[in-house]
Amino acid sequence: MSHPLVDQLRFTRSEWVRGLEGVTAEEAARRFEPMNSIAWLIGHLAWQEQAYWLQRAQGRTVSPVAERCGSGQPATTPPLVEAWAAWRAVTAAADAYLDSLTIDSLQVKWEREPTSETPGTKLLRTTYHYWFHLGEAQAIRQLLGHTGLPSFVGDISRAPYRSER
């Protein structure tokens, strides 16, 4: 059984996908400056997961598309199909590592980690980062004229509170 924080990240990922259902390639490429495009947001979250769960935790990279959407990189808008492919590849590759996390391993800093943050803190940061950008994506969708958008967290029974013990 995975750690409860991993379950919360997985639920958050599913809300990310739910919140972006129905966005077309043209809409995902649209940029309302200073915000980035939805396609960039998808690539950006792939970049973060790759940086933490693959590069820092395991020393590997699976998606060059994600690297183009990292913090501090020049503005870019990958094609939507490439952004989703990168996100799916990265999250699939990260899952085995995430399933291996324990109460103890969440508190031990990685050798390749440039900050003092532990994997547990990175797990929280990643989850909160998704919610931040999900709100941004919903704002972009409203600017695009979308209606009937999800207005609240979905079926939380899929990720209820569970003790670490």
Instruction: Report domain extents, the chain.
Output: 4-145
**Other Cβ atoms closer than 10 A to 74:** 5
Q: Categorize the per-residue pLDDT at 43 as very low, low, confident or very high, splitting at 50, 70 and 90.
A: very high
Q: pTM of this prediction?
A: 0.94
CATH class of 4-145: mainly alpha
The predicted-structure confidence for 80-110, as pLDDT tens digits, reads as follows 999 999 999 999 999 999 999 999 999 999 8
C-alpha torsion angle, residues 39, 8, 104, 67 (rounded to 10):
0
Distance CA 97, CA 124 (A): 16
Report how far apart, in Å, the C-alpha atoms of 93 and of each of 58, 88, 154 are: 11, 8, 25
Distance CA 118, CA 74 (A): 28
Single-letter amino acid code for the residue at 139: A
